[in-house]
Each structure stands twice: as C-alpha cells, then as structure tokens.
C-alpha cells in the first residue's frame, strides 16, 4: 500500500506563476553589482545596482495569484453546410491584477475554414486560427478571440483544444499554460430540393395525405351508395336521392399516412469528401440524400424512421412533424462507416426491424456482397424496397502499384458490381442512382403499381 508517509505533508501544488528569464537576469545582475561593490569598495557599483533592485521590487509589488482562464464557444443557431461560422475563444482574468499580455492559440477542425480571426470583433484580421494571438486582459475582465469563416461539411466539428498563457509584473512572471477542452460546432447537412410523386405502396395510418383504396372519411370521391345507419347527414346526395326516391350518400376514400424507413448502409466509405462545394464521398451522399428524403416526407405528414445497416443497427423510431425532422438531422450527424467482420452475428439486423407496410428506401453504395444479400432478403420478406445507389459516379481507380493492373482490376470490379445490380433488379429490387430532385419518381410509381396489382392466384 502506497501513500504519504506519516508525519510529512503531501506534495504541494505547483505554482500557477513562474519567474521568467528576465527576472533571473535582474536578480543576478543586481547581486553581482552589489557583491562587486562591497568587495571592491566601490560605491558607484552599488548605485548602479539600485535601479535594477528598485525596478524589480516595484514590478513585483502586485503579483497575480490566479492563472488565466480560457474556454472555446460556438454561436447557437442552425448552421448548415456552406453557412457562416461564428466561434469564439474567450480568455479571462479572474485576478485583481491585470495581465500585461495574454497569448491564445487554438486548434480548429479542417472542415471549419477560418477566414477572419482577431480580438477586435468589429474588424477581425485575415488569417488562420492556429497561429498565436496576443492581447491585454485587464483585471476581472475577459476578451474574446473571434473566429469567422465557413462550415464546409456536416458533422460535429471541434473548436479547440485552446491554450492560453499570460505574462504579468512587467514580464517578470509568466503563467503556466492553461488548456481548455474543445467545443463542438454542429453543422447540419445541406438538403437539396427534393420532390417525389404521391404514390405509396401501402398506407398504414388512419389520417394522412395519401389516398387509399379503403372507404372512409377522406376527400377523394369513390361514388354514390345507398344510405345506411351511421352515415353522416352532410354526406347525403339530395339530387340522386330525389331521383331514386331513396336516400343516397357520397362515398369517399380515406386519407392515410405512410411510414418511410430510410435504411443507411454504413459498411464502407469510398470517394473523397471535398466539402459542400467539392466532391462527395459515399457518406456525404448518403447523409444529404437521407436528410432531403426525410424532410420531404415529414413535411407531407408521413412517419419517417431511420435505421443503420451495420454491426450496431442504430435506429430512430418513426414519428412525424418538425420535431422529428430536427431529430433526424441530429441522428444523421453521428453516421460513421463501420466495418462488419465476416464472423460477426448477422442476426443483429433483419426484416423484423421493419414494418411490413413501410416503404424502405435503402441508401447503399453496394460495395459489399452482404449489402446485396440484405436487399434481396428484404424483397423476399415482402417489404417494399427501393435501393438508392450512393456510389460516386466519378469514383477514381485506386492508387498505388502498377497503374495498368490497377485500371484493369478497377474495370473488372465495375463489371462485377453492374452484374450485382442487375441481379437485384431481377429479384424485384429497383436500383436508382441518387440525382437530387425527381430521382425516385419513376421507381415509386412502379413500386406503388406492383403493390396494388392483383396477386397471382387471387380470385
């Protein structure tokens, strides 16, 4: 058992302020002049040492005790890719003695492009944020280092860690470096305008925006029928009733909502992300497409849920409304590529996680055979599946090795992947490349038509 020996005090905490070389030189020079003056009997040397001694004593008359404080922060708000970044790094002086100089330096995520930075919020200077900044900090006050720029990519990006160091007593004392934990800047994915047809394979809820084939209280006229007990009087068609000498009512079809499941394939990442104005990787396309599709159906009143195809099977329960849209955006920020070992248990994910009436939109790059098997399994289980290809169309061949062999292997891989896509279509899984607005129109029409078609053998 180890500990502090009996009768001894624990190790004292190191002082927050340490002497600088300037203080050492002043003390050394004063001491040498005084010793030389006494030994040699020269008063002029003692007089020469007096200004150094008095100046050092005067500078140390008020010594700070508390070290500087520093903390990064980000402006609150809904920041989207390509939006204006507004972050700050604050350095504070909790002591009663002012700091002669405070030097601040912070790290910033490469996806946050800082274009202007400085301590003057009205006229920040051009430059990066990773270089040191110096300022005066009066006693009991705080000064903000303003960082202005552009958010280049979705995600939670750090501003920091930030460090600060202060000098006091005319530069004779300097504080130890104070480091603060980074703050996170939340950048939501940029959603392209997306519109899709109203066709839905099957509507499950009782109230919604899609016309179903089931009679009910809706706005779609289905015909005229004889009045039965329980019908509302406002539904009576008096023109037909007078002509038929019997009460008739207008029959309508119910308006029903649908559940849309956005299934994200996160088994692999490919391509290079260039930010909002550059090239898009697989995860970039997946997240932005999921945000656009989710926003479209949530604004229509449908229920939207999210699910990851990966070893953890992360899931977001279905819901509607603007609150669900904000929850979807937060959920998408945590999307990461996760490898799934071959020996791992595949029972973590299965069709049992999906509603039988839901429209399943699978966002997948189709880079692994396991993804194709998952799509085929969903189709065999009777789910309405639409596969959205998120692989970049201009994906370059891999680098390294012999260039001629790499290009041949890349073309063979492309052919093998095209064969996989055709096999999925033969299994009844439509595969369409994501191209923004209108990408899924024709596919949704085909799925809805197949869902309402009479089954083979049905009477």
How far apart are the C-alpha atoms of 109 and 58, rounded to whole Å?
A: 44
Span 228-262, pLDDT tens digits: 787 777 778 888 888 888 888 887 654 455 788 89
Statement to judge: residues 57 and 147 lie in one domain: no
pTM: 0.74
DSSP string, 241-289: HHHHTS-EEEEEEEEE--EEEEEEE-S---S----TTS---HHHHHHHH
207 lies in some domain: no
Say if residue 320 is in the same domain as residue 378: yes
| 140 and 43 belong to one structural domain | no
User: How do residues 429-445 score in pLDDT, each as one tens digit?
Assistant: 888 888 776 666 666 66
Please give the Cα distance from 332 to 278 (Å, whole number).
20
| 139 and 49 part of one domain | no
CATH of residue 358: 3.40.50.410
More confident residue, 430 or 449: 430
Mean pLDDT of 80-104: 90
Residues with Cβ within 8 Å of 293's Cβ and at least 6 positions away in sequence, in order, are: 194, 196, 260, 262, 361, 440
Q: How many separate domains does the chain show?
A: 4
Q: Flag the least confident range among 69-83, 230-244, 314-328, 333-347.
A: 333-347
Within-domain flag for 46: yes
For residue 70, give the H/E element and its range.
strand 69-74
177 & 44 share domain? no
φ/ψ (deg, to 5) at 293: -65, -45
Tokens of 421: 């896509």
More confident residue, 347 or 145: 145
231 is in which domain, residue-wise? 221-252
pLDDT of residue 155: 92
Residue 425 belongs to some domain of the structure: yes
> Angle, to 10 degrees, between the axis of helix 282-299 and the axis of helix 321-332?
170
For 110-159, the pLDDT digits (tens) are 999 988 877 765 555 665 667 888 888 998 899 988 888 899 999 999 99
The DSSP code sequence of 3-48 is -PPTTSPPPPPPPSEEE-HHHHHHHHHHHHHHHHHHHHT-HHHHHH
The beta strand positions in 121-258, using DSSP E, are 125-126, 133-137, 142-151, 155-168, 173-175, 178-180, 183-187, 210-226, 248-256
**């945000």: which residue's tokens?**
291
Identify whether residues 151 and 123 lie together within a single domain.
yes
CA-based nearest residue to 202, from 425, 450, 429: 450
**pLDDT for the residue numbered 298:** 86
51 in a structural domain: yes
């Amino acid at each position: 058992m180890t500990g502090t020996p009996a009768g001894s005090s624990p190790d004292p905490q190191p002082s927050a302020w340490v002497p600088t070389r300037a203080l050492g030189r002043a003390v050394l020079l004063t001491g040498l002049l005084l010793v030389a003056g006494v030994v040699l009997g020269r008063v002029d040397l003692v007089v020469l040492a007096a200004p150094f001694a008095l100046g050092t004593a005067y500078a140390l008359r008020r010594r700070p005790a508390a070290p500087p404080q520093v903390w990064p922060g980000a402006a609150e708000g809904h920041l989207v890719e390509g939006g204006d970044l507004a972050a700050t790094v604050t350095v504070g002086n909790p002591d009663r003695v002012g700091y002669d100089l405070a030097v601040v330096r912070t790290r910033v995520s490469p996806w946050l492009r800082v274009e202007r930075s400085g301590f003057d919020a009205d006229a920040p200077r051009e430059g990066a944020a990773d270089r040191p900044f110096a300022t005066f900090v009066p006693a009991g006050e705080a000064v903000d280092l303003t960082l202005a720029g552009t958010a280049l990519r979705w995600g939670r990006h750090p501003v920091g860690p930030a460090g600060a160091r202060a000098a006091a007593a005319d530069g004779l004392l300097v504080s130890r470096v104070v480091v603060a934990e980074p703050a996170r800047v939340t950048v939501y994915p940029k959603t392209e305008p997306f519109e899709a047809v109203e066709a839905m394979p099957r509507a499950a809820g009782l109230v919604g925006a899609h016309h179903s084939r089931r009679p009910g209280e809706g706005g779609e006229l289905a015909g005229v029928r004889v009045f039965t007990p329980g019908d509302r009087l406002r539904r009576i068609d008096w023109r037909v009733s007078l002509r038929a000498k019997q009460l008739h009512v207008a029959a309508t079809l119910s308006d029903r909502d649908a559940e849309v499941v956005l299934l994200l394939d996160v088994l692999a990442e490919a391509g290079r992300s260039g930010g909002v104005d550059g090239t898009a990787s697989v995860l970039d396309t997946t997240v932005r497409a999921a945000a656009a599709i989710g926003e479209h159906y949530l604004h229509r009143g449908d229920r939207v849920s999210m699910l990851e195809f990966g070893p953890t099977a992360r899931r977001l329960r279905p819901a509607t409304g603007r609150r669900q849209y904000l929850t979807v955006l937060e959920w998408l920020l945590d999307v990461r590529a996760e490898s799934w070992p071959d020996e791992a248990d595949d029972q973590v994910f299965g069709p049992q996680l999906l509603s039988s009436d839901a429209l399943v939109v699978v966002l997948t790059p189709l880079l692994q055979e396991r993804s194709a098997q998952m799509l085929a399994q969903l189709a065999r289980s009777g789910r309405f599946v639409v596969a959205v290809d998120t692989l970049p169309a201009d994906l370059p061949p891999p680098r390294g090795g012999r260039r001629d062999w790499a290009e041949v292997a890349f073309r063979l891989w492309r052919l093998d992947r095209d064969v996989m896509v055709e096999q999925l279509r033969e299994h009844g899984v439509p595969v369409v490349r994501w191209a923004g607005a209108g990408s899924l129109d024709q596919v949704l029409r085909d799925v809805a038509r197949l869902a309402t078609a009479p089954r083979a053998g049905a009477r």
